[in-house]
Chains A and B, each alone.
Chain A
């Protein structure tokens, strides 16, 4: 019989890391070793995590695709399911379906500069891309990372960012709308910083993730800077239940964000992008 795409596979928590008061990561491995071995994904894709008796949520895969004996999820506690997931301990089990969805065009980006713009804390999909790029510095040109946060106190992954900053060919800007007086990063909107930068390389690809309003502002600036529309990629979020194109919750006009996305080149979503109600 065909595999039932609704049915999760069990996986074990190998390790758990508390990244901030509200963000944690879990390293998981499928109980079925064969399944783990053939599990392959691309940065930007996601799994559906199931917590016993509670429910399922869509979570990006944060680890590197070459790591074959486990995979990592970084989860922010926001509501019913994520709050319960936060209580997971090493040795506990979860259910996993996946991987699902489209991914960042990391192959097309080989040999070129990459600009990554993220807003708010919802930047999980871009972390996978950043990790991937920085592990392969010889394959890519200059990497620019622009991270916007609301308040400087929200800044997490300090160690990770410090390491990124230290990488050759990498520029990192962190902008906080509101900042405490000891904040060393940029004060203001990440999009204002974007407006002030210039990007000499012609074939730079741009990966953007964050609130749709911020993505719209970033897009307008990029188009003014003569970036072609097809060089700009967005990661979108919609309510997701099935991740199979069956439940209808993730629709954006004629697109299913779960299977046609969550990563879209701008021309694909242009007609309804940032249009309230879609």
Chain B
């Protein structure tokens, strides 16, 4: 597909064209000191000239000299909450006059979303969530409805935080698939490429110039730079070999060691773009004439996650952390033929005590390390 150039000052045209095509634009913006995704109406809301600095357990935004909209790496929030909602009603039940039940499914009603700013790791995570909710025998219609109408405007990373390890995880930093449009930000604007007919139709409405060779080269260089900036690595490059090695270390003393640091707060599972656990509960109406059945995100770090009457299968932090980590990088392969970690680094940044899964893994499988 031909590469074109969209000037920074014409970014608003993209938002307008998306709106005209019936999409609600969701894009990055600053809230409470972090870059998150929410409704984007004007291009001025973008995090212009901002860059994040991340360390295990810490995140801070700073102004940069460059006037760019995407020279930052992922914040706490991923694409996930726009498809797999943190809380949603699955169905309602009413009783008719005769006392008979009437079950009514609740389906997605929100307008189609154009998601602006998805990174390579986000799209890898999206492919994983698709496997959970719509590529299995049993599908979630709500997720499917939102997924099918989703328009993805991806952005190639040109900067990586200290916690990013998408190169080692095998997911980035370059976006290779599943996008409608992909942008690479360079001086003064974006090298733009469409990946679908829907994407091309949007492009047709914008003021574009052909991308110069220089712009294309600068874009490629910036992406390469985002790769070169990464120092973190996941053992065995996130392959099945890591899973096999880890499953041989279920009694390693490091599990106890990490359990002494871990608060079992579940932040890592909430920020993780691939975690799919949820629980269901009923919310009866006050008049008791109807009841709503709701699902909300859950985490394997809670007691309720593994509760059966008279027994909690994972009563302590050690067994919960072990469930989390073994699921992510080992047993996920058995379920979905891929690792459950995409290397986004969110769980490292947003862990209140800065636990870094790549370090825990290295410590546990060190004698397996490639030479």
Contacts and interface: CB of A to CB of B under 8 A. Distances in A.
Interface of A: 1-2, 4-10, 31, 50, 52-56, 78-79, 93, 95, 237-239, 241-242, 244-249, 251, 253-256, 259, 271, 275-278
B288 A247 contact: no
A31 B307 CA distance: 32
B277 A256 contact: no
Nearest to B288: A53
Contact of B278 (A10, A247, A259): A247
Interface in B302-347: 304-310, 313-314, 318-319, 322-323, 326-327, 330-335
Given A31-B100, A254-B335, A78 B277 contact: no
A5 B331 contact: no
Residue from the set A10, A238, A275, A278 with the largest chain B CB neighbour count within 10 Å: A278
Contact of B313 (A238, A242, A247): A238
A237 B308 contact: yes
Main secondary structure of the interface of A (DSSP, over half): loop
B275 to A, nearest CB: 8
Interface string B258-298: 00000000000000000111111110100010010101001
B132 A52 contact: no
Contacts of A241: 278-280
Please tell me the size bucket of the interface on B.
35 or more
B140 A246 contact: yes
A277 B256 CA distance: 13
Main secondary structure of the interface of B (DSSP, over half): mixed
B105 A4 contact: yes
Nearest to A3: B141
Interface string B84-122: 000000110101000111110100000000000000000
Contact of A54 (B132, B279, B282): B282
Given A4-B91, A253-B331, A256-B335, 10 more contacts: A6-B140, A93-B101, A95-B101, A239-B308, A242-B280, A246-B278, A251-B323, A277-B322, A277-B323, A278-B313
17 contacts: A6-B91, A7-B91, A10-B102, A52-B101, A55-B282, A95-B101, A245-B132, A245-B136, A245-B137, A246-B133, A246-B138, A247-B277, A247-B295, A249-B279, A253-B334, A254-B331, A254-B332
A52 B93 contact: yes
B281 A246 contact: no
B173 to A, nearest CB: 29
A95 B140 contact: no
Contacts of B137: 245, 259
B139 interface: yes
B279 A10 contact: no
B105 A6 contact: yes
Interface of B: 90-91, 93, 95, 99-103, 105, 132-133, 136-141, 247, 250, 275-282, 284, 288, 291, 293, 295, 298, 300, 304-310, 313-314, 318-319, 322-323, 326-327, 330-335
Nearest to B310: A78
Residue from the set A9, A253, A271 with the largest chain B CB neighbour count within 10 Å: A253
Given A8-B103, A52-B95, A244 B323 contact: no
Given A275-B250, A278-B323, A249 B309 contact: no
Given A54-B282, A238-B306, A4 B141 contact: yes
Closest 7 pairs between A and B when the two form their complex, measured CB to CB:
A254-B334, A277-B319, A248-B277, A254-B331, A53-B284, A244-B138, A10-B101
A251 B277 CA distance: 10
Given A6-B90, A52-B95, A251 B308 contact: no
A245 B308 CA distance: 18
A239 B305 contact: yes
Contact of A53 (B136, B140, B282): B282
B141 A1 contact: yes
Contacts of A8: 91, 93, 103
A247 B250 contact: no
Contacts of A244: 136, 138, 140
Given A239-B306, A278-B323, A56 B138 contact: no
Nearest to B305: A249
B278 A248 contact: yes
A48 to B, nearest CB: 10
Contacts of B281: 55
Contacts of A271: 247
A10 B298 contact: no
Contacts of B91: 4, 6-8
Nearest to B284: A53
Nearest to B333: A254
Given A245-B138, A275-B250, A56 B280 contact: yes
A237 B105 CA distance: 28
Residue from the set A8, A254, A275 with the largest chain B CB neighbour count within 10 Å: A254
A251 B309 contact: no
Contacts of B314: 277
